[in-house]
Structure 1
Amino acid sequence: MRYPAPLVEGRLLRRYKRFLADVALGADGAGESVVAHCGNPGSMIGLADPGSAVWLARNANPKAKLDWRWEIATQTIDGAAHPVGINTGLANRIVEGAIAAGRIAPLAGYESLRREVKYGANSRIDLLLESRTAPPCYVEVKSVTLRRPEGPDPAAAEFPDAVTARGAKHLAELAARAQAGERAVMVYLVQRADCAHFRLADDIDPAYAHAFAQATGAGVEVLCYDCLVAPEGIELNGPLATAL
């Protein structure tokens, strides 16, 4: 997925009210200060340090309340700044594009793909893959940004970065589909390329880890892929090992 226009570099001043960020434009942060929309409801541990490099996109939507969107953050680990895609809204698009391009082999071979299809108890599945010769495949996508160099597994990408009752509900819905004989797949999209493997942050949300165990026990499949992140765009890189 390429950005429609080049991103603009800046320096983060602060993130606040979850969905807002103040950014000083320019590689040195000496430019105009602007307010950008932060499309990430999580805690963004390690990704919202004042002074860190960020990249913004201009909002092309005339109905948007803000002129800027925060797309990429950086996390400095052992002296190196690692780019991280923080816009959770892009995860579905990246996975959808990768499926269409045949980049996710376990999800190949379906004839059609639909987005945001209603199912279960007042839920919508991110992607529904269908074929005349196989049961439907329900695909839920989660954007992963967390890496904790001082955490229990310093090289791991982790999910979630905050308590997520909604995420646990999605796992329960997938489990019900698997128990009904349909295919259910949980895709964790790691929007960074500096992690050795993926794991659950069970110390952050034990209830989510419990729901995950129940879902996989019911037959829900788990896939994890990382991404190459750059100001030009974000693309699927390859499968990431899981330590679950």
Structure 2
Amino acid sequence: MLTLLFAPDADEAAVLTLILQRAGFEVRLVTELDQLSQGDRPAELFFFAFTTEKAITSEFISQLRLENQAPIVMLMEAGNEGAQIDFIEAGADLVFSRPYSHKFMVAQLRALMRRSSGLPYFSLPALSQAGITLDPAKRSVQVGKDAPTRLTQLEFRLLYALMTHPGRIIPSENLVEYVWGYGGEGSQGLVRGLISRLRGKIEPDPSNPRYIMTDAGIGYYFEPEPDQQRMFSKTEKSASEVR
């Protein structure tokens, strides 16, 4: 269980790393927020032990939650109930206050991971369609011989859903459930945003997509034979011009 631990204070970072490792978590320590997206493997748990010198805002947590469904845990100073509520409403799963009980923290973390557990994406088989390779282990996508590109967890879920049903139109409301789960906080508008981001990562020309296609008013589908589809479109256009 890879945990990204953001802990700017060196002493606290050492203590938390030891606690988490003894509880069975694999820990990667970061001291700057821009390091969160680094590394070959995506995080399965985010743990933010921030300080007043390096504070984290609820807006940051809200954006992280939109891009990633991994559990989010906060550790902050006691006495600011309003900030704790803001973090929970922004998408944090647990908020601890200093000072804290090591045993209670570990028990809460284990309970959280049990509730959040499902089939881990890294155990899914790799997919290859139309020259696009989707690697669940690294949560990356590769177009032809280009360098692999990392995906957010939500981007991965959406592309995996499309590529496992090549040529099949998936209604937008179904994609919401695929990506955010039943009763999640997704919407068809957020699906459109994810589609746009995915096209920016895999399409040669995002404004004229070859792989991720739209069926207006219904949903989206992954085109398994983009070259043939493009030839068909050109033939159809030429025929209409003749008429």
TM bracket (short chain): under 0.3
Normalised by the length of structure 2, the TM-score is 0.27
| TM-score, length basis structure 1 | 0.27
Q: Which structure features the higher share of helix residues?
A: 2
Higher strand content, 1 or 2? 1
Higher relative contact order (CA 8 A, sep 6+): 1
